[in-house]
Amino acid sequence: MRRTALWSTASGAVALAVLGAPAAHAEGKGDIRVTKTVVNNGGNVIVGVHDVKTFPVTFTVRDNSGVKGLSHVSVFNAKNGYGPGDWTGNSCHKSTSTTSVCTAVFEEHPAGFKSSVDIDPNALAGTWQVNATVQARDGDYWIHDDLAHFDFKRASTLTTDATPEPVAKGGRLTVRGKLARADWSDLKYHGYTKQNVRLEFKKAGASAYTTVKTVRTSSTGTLSTTVTATAPGTWRWNFPGTHTTMAITSAGDTVALR
C-alpha cells in the first residue's frame, strides 16, 4: 500500500520586493528598544505551491513612557535582499506600563513569487531577516535592520511503499518512496535529488521507530532498497531537511508476515 505525507502552503496575490540587504545597523532617539523578536512562534516559515502562508512576527518592546506601536516591519532574504510578501496588519498589547508585545502579520503568496523577483524564485529559500521601526508615546523611536533571523523553506512531500504485502518471514521486502519539494518557478513538486533519507522500522507492538539504513535519492528523487523481513511492523522514510527545504517523515506502511 502507498502512503503519502504532504505539506503544502501558499497561493494568491503578489507583494513587494525589498532590494539590497544593507549592513546591520540601529539608530533612533531615546530609550525605546525591542528586547525580543520571535518569528512564526519560533518555527520555520514553510511555503508550498498553492496556499497562502500566513505567519506572525512578534516583538517585545520597552520604553519608559509606554509603547505607541510599530511604524515599519519588513522581512526578506538576508543574502539576496528579496522579500515578496504582504504585511497585512499589526497590533500591540500592553504588558506593563513600559512594555508591550506587538505583532505584525505577513502573508506569502507563491503564485506571485516568479513575477515579483528577477532571480530564480527558488533562491528565496534560505535565511531571512527582520527589520522594524518602533515608536514610543513620548516621541522616541528606534530603527533596527537586523532584529532576528529565520529559515524560509520550500515545502516537501515524501511517500513510502513496501512490497510484497504480506511477505514471508525471512523474505525480501522492497521499500520504495519519493522525496519531492515545491518549485516556485512552475508551482509544482519535483523530485529532490541526491539527498540522504533514513529508512525506519517499528516492530509491531513497539512504541518507537529505529533507523535501518540511509538511502540516497536518485536523479528523480526516488528511493528504493531491499531488506529482510524478520518481523511484522511498519516502514517509513524520514528526511531530516536542509537549510532550504523542510524536514518530513512519510506516513508508515504496515507489512504483515505470512
Indicate the pLDDT class of residue 26, thresholds 50, 70 and 90. Answer: confident
* pLDDT exceeds cutoff 70 at 180: yes
Write the pLDDT tens digit of every residue in 126-136: 999 999 999 99
Residues 24 and 103 in one domain: yes
Structural domain including 229 reads 155-255
CATH number of the domain within which 210 lies = 2.60.40.730
Residues 23 and 54 in one domain: yes
C-alpha cell at 60: 517585545
Other beta carbons within 10 angstroms of residue 193's beta carbon come to: 13
Residue type, 179: L
What's the whole-model pTM score?
Answer: 0.88
Residues 27 and 138 in one domain: yes
Residues 191 and 142 in one domain: no
Residues 174 and 200 in one domain: yes
For CA atoms 147, 59, 127, 83, the dihedral sign is negative
Residues 61 and 124 in one domain: yes
CATH number of the domain within which 136 lies = 2.60.40
Identify the domain boundary among 116, 131, 154. 154
Residues 17 and 106 in one domain: yes
C-alpha cell at 109: 503568496
Write the pLDDT tens digit of every residue in 60-85: 999 999 999 999 999 999 999 999 99
Give the C-alpha separation, 18 to 256, whole Å. 55
Write the pLDDT tens digit of every residue in 197-228: 999 999 999 999 999 999 999 999 999 999 99
Residues 193 and 75 in one domain: no
Return mean pLDDT, the chain.
91
The answer to whether 11 and 50 are in contact (CB under 8 A) is yes
Give the C-alpha separation, 53 to 228, whole Å. 42
The answer to whether 111 and 11 are in contact (CB under 8 A) is yes
Identify the domain boundary among 135, 154, 173. 154
Residue 1 belongs to some domain of the structure: no
Tell me if the bond preceding 166 is cis, omega within 30° of 0: yes
